[in-house]
Amino acid sequence: MSIKLPIDIRAIKGFLAAHEGEALYHLAAEASGLGPCLEVGSYCGKSTVYLATACKLTDNVVFAVDHHRGSEEHQPGEEYHDPDLFDERAQLMDSFRNFRANIRTAELEDWVVPIVAPSAIAARHWNTPLGLVFIDGGHSLEAAMTDYRSWSRHIVPGGYLAIHDIFPDPADGGQAPYDIYKLALASAQFELVETVDTLGILRRI
Rounded (5°) CA angle 98-13-79: 110
Q: CA torsion sign, 193 to 200 to 64 to 2?
A: negative
Are 134 and 162 spatial neighbours (Cβ–Cβ below 8 Å)? yes
Q: Is 26 a known active-site residue?
A: no
User: Strand 86-87 to strand 92-93: parallel, antiparallel, or no bridges (unpaired)?
Assistant: antiparallel
Catalytic pick among 67, 68, 74, 139: 139
Say how many CA atoms lie within 13 Å of 129 toward its Cβ: 11
Catalytic residues: 139
